[in-house]
Chain A
């Protein structure tokens, strides 16, 4: 199960994810993102520190989100202090992709 908590006010919003981010949770994340008023937002921070599990499909969703926001000129950042999650992000090279 994926839990999504949105905090902060435009122009800067933080989305904290908890639980499992994989192919099963695609809909949950997409719904939460759709509900945001993106015209008012300049920066989105995704916090993964409380995430218990992420796989390549989950990271794929983050990359798709980053690309969609970039088109709208919205800045995107990933925050994380969870070692197991960071290892998968590094293995896939997420940070290299979103800093391209």
Chain B
């Protein structure tokens, strides 16, 4: 209930109470009734004061939340445009709604849990095992670079979040990886540093080179981050990568 509704309500109680006891006092003409009137006035004023105080706090908290949300939306839009321009489109920010519309109905061919450090290596091995007979361009040198990016993304989940999963989808002749974590989301204020600055990390004990490596080898990267976690989608183009590496 907001302040605008509470104040008239308390005022009505006050007027009704005073009217009732004054009428009662006039009829009985006793000192007791006047004392009750005084107590009611003091009580109602006290309640009004406390109500206003509480409502003011709630309104301030609501305003603060709204401001934070607006600031997050504004930053998201700015970074969305700047990052697209800087990376010449390999990296795009998605809202959770955009992500769900794009991938919500998909069923992965392979889904691997990311819970403990050993899962970093397990993810690399299982992805390699799964793809080596399915994709003609999954050569040693190409797979090495792609698995490096997968390793970086999975390591980030282990280092910075409580866990998540890796989903694999094949689209034409290329794999697509979804690295989904249950963390608290990336800090949008730190996003440009995290994405582009060598050696930047949100924690002192990790080196945080993951993103520049991913951007270097992937043809497209989507990032969807919110307080419910982060979803990273990696699109390697195996043929283009093979050409770049001189394997084409």
Q: Measuring CB to CB, which residues of chain A are less than 8 angstroms from any residue of chain B?
A: 20, 22-24, 53, 55-57, 59-60, 63, 84, 88, 91-93
Contact = CB atoms under 8 A, between A and B. Distances in A.
Nearest to B198: A93
Interface string B185-228: 00000000000001100000011111011001000000000000
Contacts, number: 55
A72 B199 CA distance: 24
Interface of B: 117-118, 120-121, 124, 141, 144-145, 147-148, 151-152, 155, 158-159, 198-199, 206-210, 212-213, 216
A43 to B, nearest CB: 24
A56 B144 contact: no
B212 A22 contact: no
A24 B152 contact: no
A84 B241 CA distance: 14
B213 A91 contact: yes
Contacts of B207: 56-57, 59-60, 63, 92
A55 B151 contact: yes
A77 to B, nearest CB: 20
B148 A24 contact: no
A97 to B, nearest CB: 8
B144 A53 contact: yes
Contacts of B158: 23
Nearest to A20: B121
B209 A23 contact: no
Contacts of A63: 207
Given A53-B144, A91-B213, 17 more contacts: A20-B121, A22-B121, A22-B151, A23-B120, A24-B118, A24-B120, A24-B121, A53-B151, A55-B151, A56-B209, A56-B210, A57-B207, A59-B209, A60-B206, A60-B209, A92-B198, A93-B198
14 contacts: A24-B117, A24-B118, A24-B120, A24-B121, A53-B124, A53-B147, A55-B152, A55-B213, A56-B155, A57-B206, A84-B144, A88-B213, A91-B216, A93-B199
